[in-house]
Each structure stands twice: as structure tokens, then as C-alpha cells.
Structure 1
Amino acid sequence: MEIVDSFDKIIRPGLWFVKSRQPIMDVSRFVYEFAVELGVSVTVHSSANKAIQNEVVELIKKSCIENASDELEREWLEQELMEYNTHDHFWYPPELNQYTSKGFFWSNEVQCVDDKWFMLPSCSHDIVLVDDLSALWWENETDKHKMLFDVEKEAKDRNKTVIVFVSPNDFMDF
């Protein structure tokens, strides 16, 4: 269990805490960089899944539109991505699959879990992102440090990397 300044080099099993002023933005950036650009499967445990999805799609929009071959393609991409905004659940225009590195995005590379409590067995991928430190323990949990050590042990036993994005206020809990 370690607190670090950046997630860039953390892909080892265990429990990691990444300092973050904006956890949702940092989770979104991680999802974009690893799932969209590299095709690495991740599980996102967050109550803000829609906000994370919106931010990731904004990053995809920017990338797709910048890489459009001409004005017609750029306009088509903008229209496809505007349609996304009419959905209130995870939805990704299948026509955009050709613009992602692995050819298919939301359904096989990003699992979203919005349960109130974190349970590692419900996370199907080896990299798990958590944007709220309090999701790691139950409401009546009195020994938070023991709970964190238990999460770390389980992560290592299951060969999973759990990355918790923590704000400066969260450091008060340590």
C-alpha cells in the first residue's frame, strides 16, 4: 500500500493511492489513456460513472475530430458524438469503433460498477479504479487501516491492481 503522485507507472498488483485534486477527472484520463488508447481492460468503481463516461467521450471527441480526414468526416463525427448526449446510460456509437485502438470500446474494455460498497470479486478486470476512498469500507467499519490491508491482501491474492484516486481531504483518513 503506497501513496504516489501519478498513476503512470502503477500496473502492479496491490492497493495504490494516487494523489488527485480531481479524482473523477483523473479516473477519466486513466480510462482514456489505458482503455481507449492502449486497449487495456479496466473496471471502474464509482458512483459518478456517467460523469466519467462524459469526460472520456469528450477526450474521444477531441481525438476523433482532430484526426478527421476532411470537413465532411469531422461533421459526421460531431453529429455521432452529439447523439451520445441523448442517452442516460453507458452508450457508445458503434460507428466510432474504427477510431479506437482496439476497435471496440465500452462493452469489452471498461466494466463499470456503481455499487455503494467495493467488492473485488465483482471486478472482472485486473486493473480496478476507485474514485472514492470511503467505498473501500462499510459504514460501521471502525478499523479502516485493517480494512485497507485486507483489500491490499485480496488484490495481491487475486493478482489485481486497485488504484484509488484520493483528494487532499482523503489524506485526513490516514
Structure 2
Amino acid sequence: MKQVKEPVAEAFGDAQSDEPQAAPEPDYTFWLATKKISIIIILTTLTVFGLVCSISLLTWVPDVDQWFVEILHHRSIITHSILLPLVVMLILPPRYRLAAAITFSAIGIHLSADLLSPSVAYGAIWLPEPFKMSIGVFSKPWIALNAGFAFFFRLSIGGS
């Protein structure tokens, strides 16, 4: 007896054949894309977290002058300037510019916060030994100028 194929089944490729068909290949495109996006999100989160932690840990650096009160004064002109980040940027090779960028950011944040407190007596900018004198009314401009330059140099370092 002759088997009759239905015309509708042939048109849509649903016709039965005697040959065994191979299992369709699974499509991993969505899974791979999801995995790549997950990795990017995790790495971005870790990078941002690392940068925030690094900057947070370095914002106290200008206040090391309190450890050396005999030589320096609180808010020493040396520690409350962009001198430290400049030294870091000049000493380290170019591939480590991220360390200089983090240092510039931390110093800029610290100096910006110092702008909010009074710049008189203990809060003024002081010259180190042997002078040990305040720069007085120039304290706020000194802090503002150095905070501005800290952020400027941070941005000039670029995408590192």
C-alpha cells in the first residue's frame, strides 16, 4: 500500500521521513551574552569599590603633619598641597598613573573638606620649621588653589 503524504505537512516541513534526524544544536548565544554581562558588572563593581576604598583610605594623608608637630604644624603647607601626588606621579612609571590619580583625588577631597572649616589659628596653613608661621588670610586661597589643581591633574591623567 502506498503512503500518501499530506500536502500541508510537506509545505511546512512537517513531513515524516524514514531517516533519523540529528538533535538540534543548543543555542548558547543568550547564555554566553548573559555570562559576559555578569562578568562585566562584577568587574565594574569591584573596580568602583576598590577605587572608593583607595580614595577613602588616602584622604587622611594630609593630616600626617599632626604626627610631626615639632617640625610641621597642623595643616602644613607641605602636606596640604599637591606636592605628595606630584611626587607620586613623577616617581612612578606611566603604567602606574592610577596610583597618582587616586592620590590626587584623595588630596583634592581632603582639601575641599578643609575649605569648610575656619582657617584661623590651628586651622590655618603653616610653614614648617624653621619658620613655623601661619600664612594667615592666604590659607583659604592656598587650599582652594591646591584642591582645584588636584582635581585638574587627576582629570589630566586621563582614563587610567
What TM-score do you get using the length of structure 1 for normalisation?
0.25
Structure with more relative contact order (C-alpha pairs < 8 Å, separation 6 or more):
1
Structure of higher CA gyration radius:
2
Question: Which protein is richer in helix relative to its size?
Answer: 2
Question: Which protein is richer in strand relative to its size?
Answer: 1
